[in-house]
Amino acid sequence: MSIYSNDFQDYAELCYKEFGDRVKHWSTLNEPYTFSNFGYAIGSHAPGRCSTWQLLNCTGGDSSTEPYLVTHHLLLAHVAAVKLYKNKYQASQNGVIGITLVSHWFEPLSEEKENKNAALRALDFMFGWFVEPLTSGDYPQSMRSLVGSRLPKFTKEQSKLLIGSFDFLGLNYYAGYYASDAPQNNSVYASYTTDAGVNLSSERNGVPIGSKGASEWLNVYPQGIQDLLLYTKKKYHNPIIYITENGVDEFNDPKLSLAEALNDTHRIDYYNRHLHYVQSSIDNGVKVKGFFPWTLLDNFEWSSGYSVRFGITYVDYNDRLKRHPKLSAHWFKSFLKPY
């Protein structure tokens, strides 16, 4: 496959050998989009690479090619790990294996055809970039058309291995955006960040798509989880799905009392509404088999560090990491009690 996928396969095999007697649900990768885009197109996450002309804080790179190459090798690494597991370990360990992807939901800014197509392209460039090869053996047609020769090609054998290379699909969902058609980029420079030809916005005619979390990117849009699940069911052959992440954050405000910090009614509302739409999706035939809040504990969040808190449990960073259940933890406990 490639030297990278061989290395990842070796790592995966060590995990299968050491933990396979206990781990029964394996996910090869978590949010590969995040490190392809933020690591190699925008450069805000490790290893911090992007094109210098974008005038971002990067240490070299090429945003027009590297994100696509990285994703290509991530998918081949995934396939190598899955093939090994299914051929050598699955029968004896009685487990399942999949991959965890992340996607926003994109609503067209208006009913105009151009904006409806832009919303679909936004999905292709964030979600289809990964799930389409896993179900059809190739990248979305919109990407092939717009990215051209900069998008790597799979061999026939690789395509065959990619198709159906998961027992379940992990899905991380947090936010929704409006999408509109962007004018053709006539710049001599190309980048993954502009290849889709889409403008994203958190509001329409001055009205937000939803409230915001502490993170600027987190536009609360509960209906989007249903839209994404139904879209996945229809377009990608109704896979078994686990909602592997879903949540909202607040700022880490040292001026709040402990009682105030634990009173996270906004999080209860977030989960209540998202779970409603997950149940509705199940009622409409989506095969959702599990739901995992992000997250049990406040933690170090990517480049945001400790400035935001996603947990249903408060962690006191100034007092030996003592843990205090937030109101949302008590809500979940009540929600999960048998009738």
Whole-angstrom CA distances from 262 to 255, 283, 298, 322 are 13, 33, 12, 13
Is 157 catalytic? The answer is: no
Q: Active site includes 31?
A: yes
What sign has the CA pseudo-torsion 196, 197, 201, 204?
A: negative
Q: What is the C-alpha to C-alpha distance for residues 63 and 148, in angstroms, rounded to an integer?
A: 14
CA distance 9 to 80: 6
Where helices occur in 85-155 by DSSP H, the ranges are: 90-93, 113-123, 129-136, 141-147
* φ, ψ at 242 (rounded to 5°): -115, 130
CB atoms within 10 A of CB 271: 21
Question: Which candidate, 103, 40, 48, places its Cα nearest to that of 73?
Answer: 40
Q: Which of 31, 66, 132, 250 is catalytic?
A: 31
Q: H-helix or E-strand containing 43?
A: none
Q: How far is CA 322 from CA 158, 298, 311, in A?
A: 48, 11, 13
Quickly count: other Cβ atoms within 10 Å of residue 52's Cβ.
13
Write the single-letter amino acid at 91: A
Catalytic residue among 66, 107, 132, 245: 245
Question: Alpha carbon 331 to chain centroid distance?
Answer: 26
Alpha carbons 89 and 12: distance in angstroms, whole number? 11
Distance from C-alpha of 309 to C-alpha of 324, rounded to nearest angstrom = 13
Which positions are annotated as active-site residues?
31, 245
